[in-house]
A and B are shown apart, each in its own frame.
Chain A
């Protein structure tokens, strides 16, 4: 079956790095995704990584994938107050639909 798990809450100080972790179960997933949801808003696609990659960097975002352990992480460098949001990890199936984790609420404190 498909199941994506994330920790529910992360508090980080402004300027520090944030690391959000995720585990997934479907080894056939070809892409893994990170979405951001700000209060009252939709889901914003942040980044995604192909399953045969180990790492992907995009400005302040670094995605690490350990396929053996089915572990995905998102690192946000120099975290800003605008990064406060809920972050969702997701895996896809062969038809493209996504299975989401419960989301990690990130709170950035001054």
Chain B
């Protein structure tokens, strides 16, 4: 058990809908990362938050947004869903960011499997 909790485990929804994925980081971790895993794109970095602030942005679509709350949990919001958004969405957490990030391994949750029909 990595200590990172993601809910829900599975989500089935229709095109055009909006969903929210939730992540609770490991106790003491300040950084949260979101990744998307699909068969054709592999593991793609979406976005990183550190202590409530956005730190880095990757291949995140404009239809997607995220935030990290004062209690450090994070939510990833996916809107106007398309069939191609079907994927496994992972959250990871680590202790630090910035100058201390390099020695903070990422610990991953078990993911949320999103199916868009």
Taking Cβ atoms with an 8 Å cutoff, the residues of A that contact B are 30-31, 33, 35, 41-45, 48, 50, 88, 92, 94-103
Nearest-Cβ distance from residue B77 to partner chain A, whole angstroms: 20
Closest residue to A33 on the B side, CB-wise? B105
B110 and A42: CB pair below 8 A? Answer: yes
A-binding segment of B11-19, B62-70, B92-100: B92-100
A42 to chain B: which residues have CB within 8 Å?
Answer: 2, 4, 90, 108-111
Nearest-Cβ distance from residue A91 to partner chain B, whole angstroms: 11
Give the top 3 A-B pairs by smallest Cβ distance, nearest first: A96-B101, A30-B102, A42-B110
A97 and B45: CB pair below 8 A? Answer: yes
Taking residues whose C-beta sits less than 8 angstroms from the other chain, chain B's interface range is: 20 to 34
* Complex CA–CA separation, A48 to B94 (angstroms): 14
User: With A42-B110, A44-B2 given, is the CB distance from A97 to B102 under 8 Å?
Assistant: no
Taking Cβ atoms with an 8 Å cutoff, the residues of B that contact A are 2, 4, 31, 33, 42-43, 45, 48, 55-56, 58, 90, 92, 94, 96-99, 101-111
Closest residue to A102 on the B side, CB-wise? B42
User: With A43-B90, A45-B106 given, is the CB distance from A95 to B43 under 8 Å?
Assistant: no
* Complex CA–CA separation, A31 to B101 (angstroms): 10
B43 and A97: CB pair below 8 A? Answer: no
B31 to chain A: which residues have CB within 8 Å?
Answer: 96
